[in-house]
A and B are shown apart, each in its own frame.
Chain A
Amino acid sequence: MLFQWRHEDPAASTPVRGAQHALRLRRIFDDTHDLAWRLLRRFGVPPERVEDAVQQVFLITAERLDDILPGSERAFVYGVVLGVSRSIVRRGWREVLGDDSDLRSAGPTEAEALLDRKRLVEECDRILDRLAPELREVFVLHEIEGLSSAEVARLVGIPQGTVSSRLRRARQLFRTEVEALGAVNTSTEVHGG
């Protein structure tokens, strides 16, 4: 059987409950999987660890499914992603490998576009790597994922004013890095040919 029950409770461990459980979990998965994957990447989880981390997120979600209020599933997953990413990054994982599998399977023109896209994402992550974790979280959630400041405040568990100040600082640092990157690219174009 796909589901076994750790604590036998005749009222709860029925097939019907199992089906409800699985359907709800599948719906949450469909709604939030890509989001969780992307957030873990942006929060600094190394590529080779992201898939495991995503699975960890949904295993936790499965475990806590009964505690999640209907309508708050997405917020729950956001919170779990934050916790998992903090746990991994805190343990000192570092990005050491790249995954070029999508490039290998693409045609020449498509590969160029993917490469451009991939480089942009890599540059973005490189800049994010230079932000302090607390600045990075706020920046990613607002600027990349589009959460409002109030949503970020609730999710991260800080006052909205703190979100604003962190975001302001993160924007300044991000802009500085972007301008440096732009200067390097311009310089390369001018001097390199």
Chain B
Amino acid sequence: MADDRLLDTSNVALERELIRAAAEEGPPPSVRRRGLAALGLLAVATPAAAAPAALAAAGAGKTPGAAGLLGWNLLFKWGMVAAMFGGAAVGGAVAFEGAIANSPPNEPTPVVHRASDPEGPGHQSQATPGESGPTRVQAEEDRAEALAAPPGHSPATAAPATRPPRGTSGASSIREEIDLIDRARANLASGAPDRALAVLRDYSARHPRGELREEAAVVRIEALRAKGDERAASAAVRRFERRFPASAHQDRVLDGGTR
């Protein structure tokens, strides 16, 4: 058989067009994001410069470089987010239907959990008109917009590994972020939304490019609602929708009805 394809050799235009259309069809970006989320891979970056070396090391079983360790930190982060946000952020374990092959009995195999982060870790500023005044809000929003990736961009290009390094090491920084979000949630749970908002302002100041900005934004919306500041909450919800259009937290955020 010659390896010529009808796409190149057919003298029937309709035949070529049918094959071309089928060959060029692709899934909507949302399908890809959901697939990454189901595998818990949204936070795992493969930047063009770092990925080949890290992956070569992975494939060859060598010690990974910084990219690999960062990938673990991010996995750790989303695991902690899962613990904090429960069902809203993380679904149950994804069922594996071994239609093709089963893993060897002694092979340690990963149980993949769903993760939330359709656009990568968040881009949300923490200030609102009700708290800080319009000037600061606009400045922070502008900064957040500048940091935020455009709609429809590749998650890989927006993933945290491509961001400039922060002052603290990845693991300790993430731990601190988690601590702050935990404290905010604890304050909120104990009926102290003002204290929760203060902690979140602290979070925003300490981690302007934090990995957990999306989660901080969710807690903040809940705190504003708990405080009874519906106007600020509505504004925060609109910003959230704009910056995290495919967020797994959307239902949770919108449940409050303060759009």
Name the one of A2, A30, A123 contacting B46, with C-beta atoms under 8 angstroms.
A30
Given A3-B75, A19-B64, A54-B31, verify A24-B55 contact (CB < 8 Å).
yes
CA gap between A54 and B94 in the complex, in Å: 13
CB–CB B94/A55 < 8 A: yes
CB–CB A24/B58 < 8 A: yes
Would you call A158 an interface residue if the criterion is a C-beta within 8 Å of the partner chain's C-beta atoms?
Answer: no
**0/1 string, A3-24, CB within 8 A of B gives 1:** 1111111001101101111111
- Using Cβ atoms and an 8 Å threshold, which residues of chain B touch A164? 1
- Using Cβ atoms and an 8 Å threshold, which residues of chain B touch A182? 12, 14
- Using Cβ atoms and an 8 Å threshold, which residues of chain B touch A131? none
Given A5-B109, A175-B12, verify A146-B5 contact (CB < 8 Å).
yes
What class of interface size applies to chain B in its complex with A? 35 or more
CB–CB B39/A7 < 8 A: no
B207 to chain A, nearest CB (A): 21
State which residues 23-40 of A face B: CB under 8 Å: 23-27, 29-30, 33-34, 37-38
Given A1-B75, A41-B25, verify A178-B94 contact (CB < 8 Å).
no
Of chain B, the residue at the smallest CB distance from A11 is B108
CA gap between A135 and B9 in the complex, in Å: 20
Of chain A, the residue at the smallest CB distance from B69 is A19
Would you call B259 an interface residue if the criterion is a C-beta within 8 Å of the partner chain's C-beta atoms?
Answer: no
CA gap between A123 and B19 in the complex, in Å: 10
CB–CB B40/A23 < 8 A: no
Of chain A, the residue at the smallest CB distance from B61 is A20
CA gap between A50 and B32 in the complex, in Å: 12
Would you call A168 an interface residue if the criterion is a C-beta within 8 Å of the partner chain's C-beta atoms?
Answer: yes
CA gap between A79 and B59 in the complex, in Å: 20
CB–CB A56/B75 < 8 A: no
CA gap between A38 and B23 in the complex, in Å: 8
CB–CB A144/B23 < 8 A: yes
Of chain B, the residue at the smallest CB distance from A80 is B100
State which residues 144-173 of B face A: CB under 8 Å: 156
B205 to chain A, nearest CB (A): 29
- Using Cβ atoms and an 8 Å threshold, which residues of chain A touch B28? 101-102
Given A58-B39, A62-B112, A63-B96, verify A124-B21 contact (CB < 8 Å).
yes
CB–CB A66/B5 < 8 A: no
State which residues 45-91 of B face A: CB under 8 Å: 45-46, 51, 54-61, 63-64, 67-72, 75-76, 78-79, 82
CB–CB B35/A58 < 8 A: yes
- Using Cβ atoms and an 8 Å threshold, which residues of chain B touch A38? 22-23, 25-27
CA gap between A68 and B97 in the complex, in Å: 19
- Using Cβ atoms and an 8 Å threshold, which residues of chain A touch B61? 20
Would you call B188 an interface residue if the criterion is a C-beta within 8 Å of the partner chain's C-beta atoms?
Answer: no
CA gap between A87 and B22 in the complex, in Å: 22
Would you call B7 an interface residue if the criterion is a C-beta within 8 Å of the partner chain's C-beta atoms?
Answer: yes
Name the one of B44, B82, B99 contacting A26, with C-beta atoms under 8 angstroms.
B44
Q: A16-B68, A24-B58, A26-B46 are in contact. List 5 more A-B contacts (CB 8 A).
A: A33-B27, A58-B38, A59-B96, A60-B99, A182-B14
Listed in ascending order, the chain B residues whose CB lies under 8 Å from chain A are: 1, 3, 5-7, 12, 14-15, 17-23, 25-28, 31-32, 34-36, 38-41, 44-46, 51, 54-61, 63-64, 67-72, 75-76, 78-79, 82, 94, 96-101, 103-113, 115, 156
Listed in ascending order, the chain A residues whose CB lies under 8 Å from chain B are: 1-9, 12-13, 15-16, 18-27, 29-30, 33-34, 37-38, 41-42, 50-51, 54-56, 58-60, 62-64, 66-67, 70, 79-80, 83-84, 87, 101-102, 117, 120-121, 123-125, 127, 142-146, 148-149, 160, 163-164, 167-168, 171, 174-175, 178-179, 181-182, 185
A-B contact pairs, 16 of them (CB 8 A): A1-B76, A2-B78, A12-B108, A20-B68, A26-B41, A27-B55, A29-B36, A30-B156, A41-B25, A56-B99, A59-B97, A60-B99, A64-B103, A121-B21, A146-B7, A164-B1
- List the 4 closest A-B pairs by CB distance, nearest first: A164-B1, A70-B59, A20-B58, A19-B72
